[in-house]
Amino acid sequence: MTIRIMTIRVRSILRPVACALGLALVTASARGQESLIRARTNPKDLQFYVWVPPGTFQMGCSPTAAECGDGERPLHAVNISHGFWIGRTEVTVAAFKGFTTGSGSIAMPERQQGDQYPVVNVTWTDAQAYCHWAGGRLPTEAEWEYAARGGATGGRYGVLDEIAWYAGNSSGQPHQVATKKPNGYGLYDMLGNVFEWAADWYGVDYYRASPAVDPQGPEGPQDDPLTPAGGPGFHKYRVLRGGNAGLDSSYQTVSRRLRHDFNRPSSFGGLRCVLAQIP
């Protein structure tokens, strides 16, 4: 749960209590108020995770958004019936190294930067394997967008240059995680920096008939009019979310959906995981 506070005095009282419970209190600015975020270190991958409470939100192209891509309409209400822990940052190179060492069967992808940069060139299969190793899974599209919004209703949760690394400020390269402002849930880089895999298969028309409660995405690969799943190459698309440092501002919205072959790495493709609980 998120505890809202009004003064530093209250926060100073709560902090020792949280420490005794093994929690970290992370401040974030949301809707003009200061909020106290419930965060915890996962002992498996040593990444911080933030608690996102259950709730209902409007998923898809926001009424105030200037640009929306295929598959972002119609705007529709979605209920997330269970809260979850989600990575405060994208999975770092250091964390993924721990996974490759521990698993013994998956190699470290090529073309990585330093330990505190987001891992890239990760296939959907290896991303899901990492999350299972860490004790969780990839987020569904609905969970990802709900968390990315952080309570915001527009296409972004802040001023783009303040919250995201994208083509206009990144020199075309990912940057270290958590160097921009977080959203209302205390999550960093939900927009920009690197793509993040979602669990779902991609369906361009999925929103037209998706469930109102905890949607899981299509049951299997969906044909794309231009590149059919059963056509040349047998494309099997999973969902990428969040934009990246190499793309322009039009891709940096919480509703933007892209698709990519699940077994093919993306040069800007990374991940963050969700956990039902943390030991």
Burial of 15 (0-12, 13-18, 19+ CB in 10 A): middle
Give the total residue count for the chain. Answer: 279
**In this model, does residue 10 exceed pLDDT 50?**
no
Number of domains in the chain: 1
Type of residue found at 75: L
Q: What is the CATH number of the domain that holds 205?
A: 3.90.1580.10
pLDDT of residue 275: 98
| Phi, psi of 267, deg, nearest 5 | -60, -25
Task: Report the mean per-residue pLDDT for the chain.
Answer: 87
Average pLDDT over residues 135-161: 97
Most confident of 5-9, 20-24, 121-125, 231-235: 121-125
User: For the ranges 19-33, 42-56, 154-168, 185-199, which has the lowest average pLDDT?
Assistant: 19-33
**In this model, does residue 25 exceed pLDDT 60?**
no
10-18 — which CB contacts under 8 Å span 24+ positions? 11/36
Average pLDDT over residues 130-140: 98
Average pLDDT over residues 86-100: 98
Q: Residue 17 sits in which domain range?
A: 3-275
* Overall pTM surpassing 0.75 (yes/no): yes
- At 33, the pLDDT band (50, 70, 90 cuts) reads very low
| Residues in CB range of 183: below 8 A, 6 or more apart | 28, 30, 148, 149, 150, 151, 152, 157, 158, 163, 190
pLDDT above 70: percentage of residues in the chain = 83
Record the tokens describing residue 279, joined without a space. Answer: 């030991």
| Residues in CB range of 217: below 8 A, 6 or more apart | 140, 141, 198, 199, 200, 201, 202, 203, 206, 239
Average pLDDT over residues 118-145: 98
Strands 274-275 and 84-87: antiparallel
**In this model, does residue 85 exceed pLDDT 50?**
yes
3-state secondary structure at position 260 = strand
Any idea what the Cα angle at residue 270 is, between residues 268 and 272, rounded to 5°? 155
pLDDT of residue 9: 33
- At 223, the pLDDT band (50, 70, 90 cuts) reads low
Average pLDDT over residues 39-66: 95
The beta strand positions in the chain, using DSSP E, are 3-4, 24-30, 33-41, 48-52, 55-59, 76-80, 84-87, 195-201, 237-241, 257-261, 269-270, 274-275
Burial of 218 (0-12, 13-18, 19+ CB in 10 A): middle
Are 39 and 2 in contact, with CB atoms under 8 Å apart?
no
Are 106 and 98 in contact, with CB atoms under 8 Å apart?
no
pLDDT of residue 4: 33
Q: Is the peptide bond before 74 cis (omega within 30 degrees of 0)?
A: yes
Record the tokens describing residue 273, joined without a space. Answer: 């995981």
